[in-house]
């Protein structure tokens, strides 16, 4: 990213974080002993000039991740909006359940833009408590079209690319995030790297 647009990795673990509930492998056992915590996969992006911020994924650790993002971006703690936009890749629990904190019981957000595919939007509209967040205008769904870029904040273009994954409730996308100078690929969930060269080229072309 350019000096005007910055990005931070706010989490890199699987949906349940680390130590993972119910996991008795050595990694999680050691993490419990050492009080070591890893948060679910999430990116924070911000415009250094305007202070506008994007959260990619609304994980169960959204409270901690918003605080991390705002601290890194030097955003005053009394600023009314927790972030300026959220982008979600799909309907598995590590990627959207943080939306619950945007309702009246927590942040009480107002019309916070949430960028999702049509399939993901239909899932949220059809299921409580997510439908309540929409109906009572805590969040404002912004439907994104795959393979066409959108601009959640100034100087940031994002392209959603459909990738193969377990799609019980919605489709799954990767995000190609472009600032004025550089581009990164955020692909937290994919069943396997496809043999389809066209898709591989679409994912990785022009990525820094």
Residue 175's pLDDT band, with cuts at 50, 70 and 90, is very high
Q: Given the structure tokens 């205008």, which residue do they identify?
A: 137
Render pLDDT for 35-73 as a digit per residue (tens, 0 to 9).
999 999 999 999 999 999 999 999 999 999 999 999 999
Encode burial over 163-174: b for 16+ CB neighbours within 10 A, e otherwise: bebeeebbbbbb
Q: 3-state DSSP call for residue 165?
A: coil
> Which pTM was predicted?
0.93
What is the 8-class DSSP label of residue 192? S
Question: Quick one: pLDDT at residue 127?
Answer: 96
Is 36 within 8 Å of 206 (Cβ atoms)?
no
Is 53 within 8 Å of 84 (Cβ atoms)?
yes
Question: Quick one: pLDDT at residue 192?
Answer: 85
Contacts of 83 (CB under 8 A, 6+ apart): 53, 54, 55, 66, 69, 112
Q: Could you tell me whether strands 156-162 and 173-178 are parallel, antiparallel, or unpaired per DSSP bridges?
A: antiparallel
Residue 122's pLDDT band, with cuts at 50, 70 and 90, is very high
pLDDT over threshold 70, residue 195:
yes
Length, in residues, of the chain? 208
Is 137 within 8 Å of 131 (Cβ atoms)?
no
Question: Sheet containing 53-56: which strands, arranged edge to edge?
Answer: 5-11, 42-47, 53-56, 85-87, 112-117, 139-144
Span 90-97, average pLDDT: 94
pLDDT over threshold 70, residue 2:
no
CA angle 135, 130, 186 (to 5 degrees): 120
Contacts of 17 (CB under 8 A, 6+ apart): 11, 37, 38, 39, 40, 60, 61
Residue 1's pLDDT band, with cuts at 50, 70 and 90, is very low
Span 178-195, average pLDDT: 91
> What beta strand segments (E) does the chain contain?
5-11, 42-47, 53-56, 85-87, 112-117, 139-144, 150-153, 156-162, 173-178, 183-186
Residue 29's pLDDT band, with cuts at 50, 70 and 90, is very high
pLDDT mean across residues, the chain: 93
């Amino acid at each position: 990213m350019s000096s005007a647009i910055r990005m931070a990795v706010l989490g890199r673990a699987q949906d349940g974080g680390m130590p993972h509930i119910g996991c008795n492998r050595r990694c999680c056992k050691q993490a419990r002993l050492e009080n070591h915590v890893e948060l679910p996969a999430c990116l924070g992006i911000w415009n250094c000039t305007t202070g506008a911020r994007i959260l990619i994924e609304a994980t169960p650790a959204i409270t901690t991740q918003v605080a991390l993002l705002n601290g890194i971006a030097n955003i005053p703690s009394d600023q009314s909006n927790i972030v300026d936009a959220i982008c979600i890749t799909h309907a598995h629990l590590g990627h959207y359940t943080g939306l619950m904190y945007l309702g009246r019981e927590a942040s009480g957000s107002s019309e916070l833009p949430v960028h999702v595919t049509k399939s993901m939007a239909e899932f949220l509209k059809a299921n409580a408590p997510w439908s309540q967040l929409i109906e009572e205008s805590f969040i404002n769904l912004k439907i994104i079209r795959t393979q066409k870029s959108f601009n959640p904040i100034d100087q940031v273009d994002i392209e959603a690319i459909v990738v193969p994954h377990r799609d019980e409730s919605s489709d799954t996308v990767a995000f190609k995030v472009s600032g004025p100078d550089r581009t990164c690929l955020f692909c937290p969930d994919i069943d396997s790297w496809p043999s389809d060269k066209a898709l591989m080229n679409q994912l990785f072309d022009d990525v820094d």
